[in-house]
Structure 1
Amino acid sequence: MTVNDDSFSNWKTREEIAESMIPIIGKLHRERDVTVLLHSRSLVNKSVVSILKTHRFARQIAGAELSVVETLPFLRALTTLDLGPSQIDLAMLAETYRADERGLSVEAFTAEAVAGATGGNKIERGAGRDVVLYGFGRIGRLVARLLIEKAGSGNGLRLRAIVVRGGGEQDIVKRASLLRRDSIHGQFQGTITVDEESGTILANGNAIKVIYADDPSEIDYTAYGVRDAILIDNTGKWRDRAGLSQHLRPGIDKVVLTAPGKGDVPNIVHGVNHDTVKPEERILSCASCTTNAIVPPLKAMDDEYGVLRGHVETVHSFTNDQNLLDNYHNSERRGRSAPLNMVITETGAASAVTKALPDLKARITGSSIRVPVPDVSIAILNLQLARETSREEVLDHLREVSLTSPLKRQIDFTTAPDAVSSDFIGSRHASIVDAGATKVEGDNAILYLWYDNEFGYSCQVIRVVQHVSGVEYPTFPAPAV
């Protein structure tokens, strides 16, 4: 048998194993609210090839990919346990088992590692939490996709309604079509039908009521069966407490803004300061996509090296508030054609750092350039550190943070020598460290951080909503602190 024959035979074997994993992963998710992860990447609703590619990501650790042959026994062991709602990382299970010297069986080790999600320790499944989207633009539709994807057993977040201004004939059909197909993020994974008579979009079995209103004061959400809901405002029309308080109508319990909040509205970056949200807080912001991209790596660097000062330059994809062709705009430069120009503009991300990282003493400045790409941006973070270090040490630190720390859902890491912006469309991380572009000299470090300013940010929004709604389930084995 030739090497080619061996490789192909090995691939087919791994395909078969990955196929056997899919129904187990799906059943755990639907029946027990258990999300199976691999290095913080969800395996729920993934294809055979996607599962194999996700396993290959483990090359980042020691130069060798993690095999489905290694992880399948842990997955099977999970099915024998009385699991409650949780997230369980197969890669972390396999790695910690490999390092364990007690000689336990896979079944015994797994039971011990996830004990916090079993028996008397497990979280009881609730009735779910209603969610309403106010606005249905770029972020609104991506958040809708994520909510539908994560519906699982129906005991988590449930998208019940969207609120939009009336748009004329066949409005709901057109909005459903925009949810179904996206020029950047591709086809919706599932089925969508429209019931025009009841004003409802049915997406993968989720009945989503379309409410038409020009102002929050017009709506009584309880009339639509919505109770104790979290409303996600992705219009950006109101950004202070007084404006956002208008959403606190019958049926709405909390309001989450998908833009930087003003005044005393807390700006939350999940993974960094989400645990500071007080239970009684009813209005909060998820800050900006750029703030979410720079704050986690900034925290990781400050924790390890100390940061004395810094500057962030963002090279940002153009957005919907710019003009396609030169035309009048309230901002001087944003009126110029977005697809044809690089446009210097302002960014509030640097000043927003102090809200998310109040203990950071360093002064962070920032500026931004909009460029002619429709999605994925890059932040160049130039830091003066409190001590000298080396490029190798910084990369080792950030690689480890991306794999095993509490920030692993926020920070990703790539060593691809030919990486470009389109490679990161659909990334679920807040930012991705580009190892090849990183520069370190003495006490100066320059980090290049890619981020999908649409989808990656939407994932951060969902994480905040899960946290404040009480359906952000613990991860096992617990990441190192």
Structure 2
Amino acid sequence: MTVNDDSFSNWKTREEIAESMIPIIGKLHRERDVTVLLHSRSLVNKSVVSILKTHRFARQIAGAELSVVETLPFLRALTTLDLGPSQIDLAMLAETYRADERGLSVEAFTAEAVAGATGGNKIERGAGRDVVLYGFGRIGRLVARLLIEKAGSGNGLRLRAIVVRGGGEQDIVKRASLLRRDSIHGQFQGTITVDEESGTILANGNAIKVIYADDPSEIDYTAYGVRDAILIDNTGKWRDRAGLSQHLRPGIDKVVLTAPGKGDVPNIVHGVNHDTVKPDERILSCASCTTNAIVPPLKAMDDEYGVLRGHVETVHSFTNDQNLLDNYHNSERRGRSAPLNMVITETGAASAVTKALPDLKARITGSSIRVPVPDVSIAILNLQLARETSREEVLDHLREVSLTSPLKRQIDFTTAPDAVSSDFIGSRHASIVDAGATKVEGDNAILYLWYDNEFGYSCQVIRVVQHVSGVEYPTFPAPAV
């Protein structure tokens, strides 16, 4: 047999194994609210090739490819357990099993590693939590996709309604079409139909009522069967407590803003300060996409080295608040054509750091340039550290953080030498460390952090909503602290 024949035979074997994993992963998700992960990447609703590519991706960050031959026994072991709602990382199971020297079987080790999700420890599945989207623009539609994707057994978050201003004839059809097809993020994974008579969009079986209103005060959500809901405001029209409190109408329990909050509105970056949200807090903000991109790696660097001062320069994709062609705009530079120019503008991300990291003593400054790409941005974080270090040490630290720390869902890591912005469209992490671009000299470190300012940020929003709604399920094996 030639090398080519041997490689192809090996590929076909791994394809067959990945095919056998799909129904197991799907059944665990639908029937038990268990999300199977691989290095914090969900394997739910993934294709054979996607599962194999996710296993191969481990080579970039862990140094060696993870094989489906290695992870399948752990997946099968999960099916024998009385699991409750949880997230289970097969890569972490395999890694900790390799390091374990007790000689346990895969079944015995898996049962021990996920014991917090079984028997008397498991979380009981609830009735689900209603969610309402106020606004249905770029972030609103991506959040809708994520909510529908994560519906699972129906016992988690349930998108019940969206609120928009009336847009004339066939408004609901046009909005459904925008949900179905996206020029950047591609086709919706599933089926979407419209019931114009009832004003409902049906997406993968989820009935989403379209409510037309010009003002929050016009709506009684209980009239649409919505109860105790979390409302996600994607408009950014109101940013302080007084304005956002207008959403606290019948049927709405909490309000989450997808923009930086003002005044005493808590700015939450999941993974960093989400555990500071008080149970009785009814209004909070998910800060900005750039704040979410820089705060997790900033925390990782401060925890290990100490940060004395820093500056962040964001090279940001253009957004809908800019003009396609030169035209009047309240902001002088943003009035100039977005697809034709680099546009210097301001960013509030640096000042927002203090809300998410109140213990950070370093002064962080920031500025921003909008550039002619439709999605994915990069933040250049220039830090003066409290001690000298080396490039190798910093990269080893950030690689480990991305693999095993509580920030592994926020920080990703790439060693690809030819990485460019479009490679990160669809990334679910808050930011991705570009190892090849990292510079360290003495006590100065410069990090280049890619981030999908649309989809990655939307994933962070969903994580916050899951947390405050009580359906953020624990991950096993537990990440190292």
TM-score of the pair, normalised by structure 2 = 1.00
Residues 179-218 of structure 1 correspond to what in structure 2 (within 5 A)?
Answer: 179-218=179-218
Deviation track 1:265-311 (CA, whole Å, cap 9, x = no partner) reads: 00000000000000000000000000000000000000000000000
Measured after TM superposition, the shift of residue 13 of structure 1 is 0.2
Post-superposition offset of 1:60: 3.2
Whether the 8 Å CA contact 2:406–2:480 is kept in 1: the answer is yes
SS at match of 2:295: helix
SS at match of 1:339: coil
Residues 162-197 of structure 1: per-residue CA shift (max 9 Å, x gap): 000000000000000000000000000000000000
State how far apart, in whole Å, the 2-side matches of 1:417 and 1:10 are: 27
4+ residue runs over 3 A deviation: none
Matched residue SS, 1:325: coil
Shift of 1:63: 2.4
Using the aligned pairs only, state the percent identity. 100
- Displacement after TM superposition at 1:419 (Å): 0.3
SS at match of 1:239: coil
Cα pair distance change 1:121/1:437, threshold 3 Å: same
User: Which residues in structure 2 correspond to 1:290-305 (within 5 Å)?
Assistant: 290-305=290-305
Q: Distance in 1 between matches of 2:38 and 2:319?
A: 33
CA contact (8 A) 2:404 2:479 kept: yes
Contact 2:339 2:373 in 1 (8 A): yes
Could you say what secondary structure the match of 1:340 adopts? coil
Partner of 1:324: 324
In 1: Cα distance, 2:347 partner to 2:396 partner: 30
CA distance in 2: counterparts of 1:368 and 1:220, whole angstroms: 40
Cα deviation 1:90-138 (Å, max 9, x = unaligned)? 0000010111011100000000000000000000000000000000000
Alignment of 1:160-175 (within 5 A): 160-175=160-175
Q: Distance in 2 between matches of 1:53 and 1:408?
A: 19
Task: Return the alpha-carbon distance in structure 1 between the equivalents of residues 78 and 50 of structure 2.
Answer: 21
* C-alpha separation in 2, matches of 1:75 and 1:230: 34
Tell me the CA shift for residue 424 of structure 1.
0.2
- Distance apart, 1:58 and its partner CA: 1.6
> What are the ranges of 5 or more consecutive residues in structure 2 without an aligned counterpart?
none
Q: Is the 8 A contact 2:430 2:452 kept in 1?
A: yes
- The count of aligned residue pairs is 481
Q: Aligned residue for 2:413?
A: 413
Matches within 5 A, 1:264-413: 264-413=264-413
Deviations 1:301-354 (A, max 9, x none): 000000000000000000000000000000010000000000000000000000
In structure 2, C-alpha distance between the alignment counterparts of 1:225 and 1:416, rounded to whole Å? 49
Partner Cα distance (1:216, 1:22) in 2: 43
Residues 125-152 of structure 1 deviation map (CA, whole Å, 9 limit, x = unaligned): 0000000000000000000000000000
Specify the SS of the correspondent of 2:373. Answer: coil
Residue 62 of structure 1 deviates from its aligned partner by 4.4
- Aligned mates of 1:356, 1:62 — CA distance in 2: 29
Q: Could you tell me how far apart the structure 2 residues matched to 1:263 and 1:87 are?
A: 35
Q: Match of 1:432?
A: 432
CA offsets 1:32-71 (integer angstroms, 9 cap, x no match):
0000000000000000000000011221354220000000
For 2:416 and 2:466, how far apart are their aligned partners in 1? 32
Query: Per-residue CA shift, 1:223-282, capped at 9, x if unaligned?
Result: 000000000000000000000000000000000000000000000000000000000000
1:198 Cα offset (Å): 0.1
**Distance verdict in 2 for CA 1:456–1:260, change over 3 Å:** same
Q: C-alpha distance in 2, partners of 1:26/1:262?
A: 41
Taking the aligned partners of 2:63 and 2:86, their CA distance within structure 1 comes to 29
Separation in 2, partners of 1:120, 1:81? 12
Q: How does 1:73-84 map to 2 (within 5 A)?
A: 73-84=73-84
CA distance, structure 2, for counterparts of residue 93 and residue 423 of structure 1: 28
Task: Work out the CA distance in 1 between the residues paired with 2:58 and 2:322.
Answer: 40
Cα separation, 1, equivalents of 2:62 and 2:429: 21
3-state DSSP of counterpart to 1:259: coil
Q: 2:269–2:292: 8 Å Cα contact kept in structure 1?
A: yes
Question: CA offset at residue 214 of structure 1?
Answer: 0.1
Checking the alignment, whether the CA contact within 8 Å between 2:61 and 2:415 is kept in structure 1 is: no
> How far apart, in 1, do the equivalents of 2:61 and 2:173 lie?
47
For structure 1, the residue ranges without an aligned partner over 5 or more in a row are: none
Question: What is the distance in 1 between the residues matched to 2:362 and 2:84?
Answer: 42
In structure 2, distance between residues paired with 1:217 and 1:10: 62
Kept in 1: contact 2:18–2:48 (CA 8 A): yes
